[in-house]
Structure formats: structure tokens, C-alpha cells
Amino acid sequence: MTEPLSSARLTGYLAEARARTLELAHGLDAAQLMGPRLDIVNPLLWEIGHVGWFHEYFALRRLEGGSPRLPNADALYNSSTVPHDDRWELPLPTLQGTLDYMARVQDAMVQRLDRGMASEDETSLYLMTIYHEDMHDEAFTYSRQTLGYPAPVFAMAQGAETVAEAGALSGDVAVPGGVLQLGSPPDAPFVFDNEKWAHPVEVAPFRIARAPVTNAEFLVFVTEGGYQRREFWSDEGWRWREGAQAEQPLYWARQQDGWGQRWFDRTEPLRPHRPIIHINWHEAEAWCRWAGRRLPTEAEWEAAAATEPTPAGRIASRKRRYPWGDEPPAAPQANLDGRVIGVVDVAALPAGDSAWGCRQMLGNVWEWTNTTFEPFPGFSPDVYEDYSAPWFSTRKVLRGGAWATRGRMINNTYRNFFTPDRRDVMAGFRTCAL
């Protein structure tokens, strides 16, 4: 079940999500709003219209019926039926026409809520569509990086100076064995379908890094020829590396005075203690082989993030919703919500440590795991049937969120999933001892 929320809270979430969407579209001209035809991006003009359509299709029409507020909206914006490559050829409304359609849907979403508590069904559908907009806002953000557009300007962003230059954080922590209830329980406030349901998984004792791998640590792999040494790569990874002609992380560039990293539309010096970001699963796996390490399983990652020790030295059956406890994320605990435009050093934000001493398990960078994305026992698709089911067995699980992920959506059980070749997403990795 979904825990009912107040109309005021849902209305606030709707407003916050839409404000972020508009910030991400702001300042882009007509050519930028369409962009090049690439497999890993959508036309941004199409994508913002799709966000508005999703609210209408999955919330408004399910709750009250009625016809679309744009006559051909389903033919334009239904991502389940409109092929990706066709989205550049559609007769899309202008930017103003798209924004007008989104505003009509938003107004209807707000007006149909009364002033008290929303029902369970209303809360579930509203949260699903709000979180969907949050996910697309994160995708808009890294699409701007992919396309070399200027960095977005977020009203809530703050300076990174107080937390950014915190330095390195080395070493492992030991997590004892035990039975982990992997996934979300039925009484969780909101559950995505691929988290259903919590089920027992035996976890052997393991040692996991306190922090994600940093730029400085990955640089040694690059300078020692790691991208050219076949022995560090799986067969699939080597085929990817050769096909992509990858010689270093995607946005890195050699400069006269060292290494730089393209950050949106400019190049900055490589910051040694920031976590490596925009790295794919194959690159993470190759680094692990070079370093004599391994990626954690999804269960190990969740155990390190969510569990607590028992007096007997095992992992407790109780799980925390967040690494630090059950209180929602705040600025001192996690780099989320775009409060900082980018990543901070891996030693920053000690208030967000897990019970075992792992830092930044939520926020900063998504973390690849060694686990292939599969359904949990008891899985059943939710009303958005194409959210998870089409992607099982083809993707790897990521955990933890990144700097642009919304804090209202992320927690210790949230599962992200991408194909192992994707370098555009805000992903890094944390490792385990062999």
C-alpha cells in the first residue's frame, strides 16, 4: 500500500518538479531543444511534452477519465508506442505550445485535489507521475552534459566550497554475514514495482570500500595503459572498448598541465578526490580486475547501506530507510537535488555515513553493482507496465542516486538500471575486497 499524503504536500511536489523541468529547458534555443539524433538522448522538446502527458495519462485519466488536453497527445508522447528514432520527425507543438499543454495538465492535477488528505490511489498515482518527472529531470541534466550545453541553473543550488574540497577517504569496512531482507516491504511509504517484495538473501561476510573510486585512483589505471590491456576486460567489455575506441573516461582530456574533464560546455582541471563519474559498467569491471577488487552485489550494497549490527556481530533484520537512519535526506547528509551542481569530494558529508561507516551511499554518483537487473520473487508490474518488465535480464543494477537525483524519491531500496555500455548517466562505482 502507499501511505496517503496531504494534498498540500503533493501540490508542493508537483510545483517543485515542474520548476526543475522549466529550469532545465530555460535558455535553450530551438535547435538545442531538438538536438542531434542519438540513441542515448531524446529531443528535449519531445521529452518535456512527454512529462506532461505522463501526468495526464497515468493520473488524471485513471482518476477522473476525460479526453486529452491536447488532441493528438497519445500519438505524440506515448513512449511505449512511439519509436525512439521517430521522435525527431513528429509534428510537435512549439515550445510555447508544449508549455501551455503542460500547464493545463498541471492545473488540472492541482485543482482536483481537495484541501485534506489525498486518497491512497491518488497518492500512489501522483507520486508515480511526480517521480517520473524527477527521473526525466535527471535525464535532462545529463543530456545537457552529453550534448555540451551550458550547465543548468537551479534556484536551489548553493556553493560547493564548504563541502567540495574534503579530500580522500580510503580503506574498507567489514560487514558481517547474515540474512538480508532485500527489497521493499509491503508497508513501505511508496514502492516501485521492481522493489517488490523484500525477500531473504543470505549474505556472506564481506569488506566494502568506505567511499567510491576517485578520479585519482582511476587515473592510475589510465596512465598504466588499462584501456589497452586486454587481460583486464571481459569479452563483452573488450568488444565495447574497441567499438567505442575508448582510451580514457568519456569526458577526460589530456592537457599541457595535466588532465582535464569536460563539464557541460567547458573544461575544468580533473579534481583528484571527486568520485569518478560518467563511467560505464565495463570500465568499472576492468578497473576492478586491474586493482584486484570486485564490484559489490546488489545485496551486499544494500546490506552496507541499510543494515545495522547486532550484539552477536551479524546484520540485524531491521533496515534503515536511508544510510543514516529513517529521516529524509538533508544537505549535511547527501549531495542530492542539484543543491551542488556536480560532485563533491568523497570524504565530504560524514553525517550521511551508514551504520558500517560507508560514506555517500546516497547521492553524488550512482554506483554500479555486479548484479543483472532481474525481478524479485513476487514481482508484478504496476500501472506503468513498461517501467521495469521490458528491461529485465538486459541491464545492470545501480544503487544510491547522484547529485541531480531528487531526495524525495531515493532511498536504500531504490533500484536503477542501465545497459553496461552507458557512459552518459551519472554513474561511478564502489568496490569490495576479493
Do the beta carbons of residue 195 and residue 183 sit within 8 Å? yes
- List domains and CATH numbers for the chain: 7-146 (1.20.120.450), 161-213+293-433 (3.90.1580.10)
Q: Exposed, middle or buried by CB within 10 Å (0-12, 13-18, 19+), for 308?
A: middle
As beta bridge partners, residue 259 has: 254
Strand 172-175 with 315-319, pairing:
unpaired
pLDDT at 158 over 80: no
Residue 142, pLDDT above cutoff 80? yes
331 neighbors 339 (Cβ within 8 angstroms) = yes
- What's the full length of the chain, in residues? 434
Q: What is the mean pLDDT of residues 21-36?
A: 97
Give me the pLDDT at residue 144, please: 97
Res 260: pLDDT: 97
Q: What's the pLDDT at 395?
A: 98
Q: Using pLDDT thresholds of 50, 70 and 90, give the confidence band for residue 157.
A: confident
Query: Which pLDDT value is given to residue 66?
Result: 87
Q: What is the pLDDT of residues 2-19, one digit of tens each?
A: 899 999 999 999 999 999
Vertex 71 angle, CA 129 and 77, to 5°:
40
For residue range 281-335, what is the model confidence (pLDDT) as tens digits?
Answer: 999 999 999 999 999 999 999 999 999 999 998 999 999 999 999 999 999 999 9
Q: What is the mean pLDDT of residues 118-134?
A: 97
pLDDT of 345: 96
Q: Is residue 260 within 8 Å of 218, Cβ to Cβ? A: no
Say what percent of the chain tops pLDDT 70.
99
- For cell 570500465, what's the residue? 283
- Chain centroid to CA 340: 16
Residue whose C-alpha cell reads 546488489 in the numeric block? 298
pLDDT surpasses 90 at 162: no
pLDDT at 97: 97
369-372-373 Cα angle (round to 5): 105
pLDDT band (50, 70, 90) for residue 75: very high
Give the confidence band of 377 by pLDDT, cuts at 50, 70, 90: very high
C-alpha distances in angstroms, 398 versus 84, 95, 297? 23, 33, 10
Question: pLDDT at position 378, please?
Answer: 87
The number of angstroms, rounded, from the C-alpha of 263 to the middle of its chain's C-alpha atoms is: 18
Q: What is the DSSP string of 123-155?
A: HHHHHHHHHHHHHHHHHHHHHHHHTTPPPP--T
Q: Name the one residue in this structure whose C-alpha cell is 513501505.
A: 188
pLDDT, one tens digit per residue, over 76-85 is: 999 999 999 9
What pLDDT is attached to residue 160?
53
Q: Does the pLDDT at position 101 exceed 70?
A: yes
Residue-level pLDDT at 127? 98
Residue that is written with C-alpha cell 582535464 in the block: 260
Cα(159)–Cα(69) distance, rounded to whole angstroms? 40
* Alpha carbons 55 and 32: distance in angstroms, whole number: 25
pLDDT, the chain, mean: 96
User: Per-residue confidence at 165, pLDDT binned at 50, 70, 90?
Assistant: confident
Residue 54: is it exposed, middle or buried by C-beta count within 10 angstroms (0-12/13-18/19+)? Answer: buried
Q: How does pLDDT run across 380-413, given as a tens digit for each residue? A: 999 999 999 999 999 999 999 999 999 999 999 9
Give the closest residue to 374 by CA, choosing from 425, 298, 283, 300: 298
How far apart CA 214 and CA 275 sit, in angstroms, is: 4
- Per-residue pLDDT tens for 202-231? 999 999 999 999 999 999 999 999 999 999
What is the model's pLDDT at position 163?
66
Give the pLDDT confidence score for residue 146 in this predicted structure. 98
Q: DSSP letters along 306-351, please?
A: HEEE-TTSSEEEEE-SBTTBSSPP-TTT---TTSSSS---TT--GG
Q: Are 302 and 180 in contact (CB under 8 A)?
A: yes
pLDDT tens by residue, 105-115: 999 999 999 88
Cell of 216: 585519482
Q: How many CB atoms lie within 10 A of CB 258?
A: 10
For the cut 90, the answer to whether the pLDDT of residue 264 exceeds it is yes
CA 307-168-206 angle, to 5 degrees, is 35
The span from the CA of 58 to the CA of 381, in Å, is 14
Distance CA 19, CA 74 (A): 24
- Please give the grid coordinates belonging to residue 169: 577517504
Which residues are CB-neighbours of 411 under 8 A, at least 6 positions away?
321, 322, 362
Query: Does the pLDDT value for residue 341 go beyond 90?
Result: yes
Between 255 and 284, residue with greater pLDDT: 284
